[in-house]
Amino acid sequence: MKIIKVREQSDVHRMSLLAHEIWWQHFPPIIGEDQVAYMVEKFQSEQAMLEQLEQGYEYFLADLDGEAVGYAGVVPDLNTHKLMLSKLYVIATDRGKGVGQALLDLIESKCVEEGFNRIWLTVNRANKGPINWYIKRGFTIVKEIDMDIGDGFIMDDYVMEKPIGDDEEMTE
């Protein structure tokens, strides 16, 4: 497996196609087709990802045997010394092959290298598989949020965090 830092528009294009496929595979039973369509366009489209890169996001694309199979997006919060894991998705056919773990390992290394003491993320409260996956990897649920994302849609999520580096040692 190869993980690349997304820099080229062609990589953003590949990632957005993968995002579209993953979201339409996984999320309709959880949030409904209308909200999937809205969120893919607003947050996972090529244009949205290009804008996010301009705003300080970093993206990483996982490639397995020449195929894009997963991606992660992070954005630093310099004020809190936390790194937000905005996106971590793996296509259904390649889950269980270590792709998600490889992306998370890369993000954790990035945290240590850049001096961040926590990774945090949001996950839909009905998205049980990923919630359990994160818990097994040291994340804890720190709160529930209901966030209006526009067009009448609400994200009813958990906020999860994982301490990294020195902060991890202090909490054990």
Structure confidence at residue 80 (pLDDT): 86
Helix H or strand E segment including 44? none
Q: HSE-up of 117 (CA within 13 Å, CB side)?
A: 9
Q: What is the pLDDT of residue 79?
A: 84
pLDDT value for 122: 96
pTM over 0.75: yes
8 A C-beta contact, residue 84 and residue 110: no
Q: What is the pLDDT of residue 10?
A: 95
Domains of the chain by start residue, with CATH: 2-171 (3.40.630.30)
The CA-atom distances, in angstroms, between 156 and each of 13, 42, 103 are 29, 17, 25
Looking at residue 86, what is its pLDDT?
96
Residue 91 — φ and ψ, nearest 5°? -65, 145
pLDDT of residue 81: 87
**Which residue ranges of the chain lie beneath pLDDT 70?**
166-172
Q: What was the pLDDT predicted at 166?
A: 64
